[in-house]
Structure 1
Amino acid sequence: MIFIQLTDMSQASYWEPIDSDFERLVPLELGLTKGSTQSLEVANKIRQFYFDGETLSPTFKDQYINLITNEMFVCGIHETLKLQSASYDNIYNYYFTFD
């Protein structure tokens, strides 16, 4: 599991280990073998989607938080909905945002 420490995120040293092993950001729930072609492809897609294909740095703090939030919450919600939909006809998922 990845924990976010906002105080460290302004330091380049925070980003270097993540960027050098970007594949660690591939959700474990996908069941991909680290180093496999699929896992590397997913890692590249994540980098492109969240970080425009760029090297990680403090300027991407908000995007990184969005990625981690999606992995920690959205993936779990999606998995729960899949499991429940196997047993129930009507499953609803509401998405709320705020500004």
Structure 2
Amino acid sequence: MIRHTVSFALVHAEGSAEEAAFLARGREVLTGVPGVEDFQVSRQVSPKSLHRFQFAMTFADETAYRAYDAHPAHRDFVASSWEPEVADFQELDLVPLS
């Protein structure tokens, strides 16, 4: 199991229609990619981070994660939405300790 998370800050003003559209588009596109499980969008409530949001999802294994990463819908979202609209981000790919 891999838990893929990415926290991020957008170029859009807080509470703007553009911010809401980005988050909705991310949810719609990424949940449609095969292998994505337990997708969540979260909002940061601590002032300790400039990243206001997080996308998190789970993959059954490395094969599912690689298929997601290479999927055309994911690649298109990154190119058309993520790259122009995300100001900064931090990605973590985590596996449980046994």
TM interval, shorter chain, is: 0.3 to 0.5
The one of the two structures with greater contact order (alpha-carbon pairs below 8 A, sep at least 6) is 2
**Greater helix content:** 1
Please state which structure has a larger fraction of its residues in strand: 2
TM-score by length of 2: 0.33
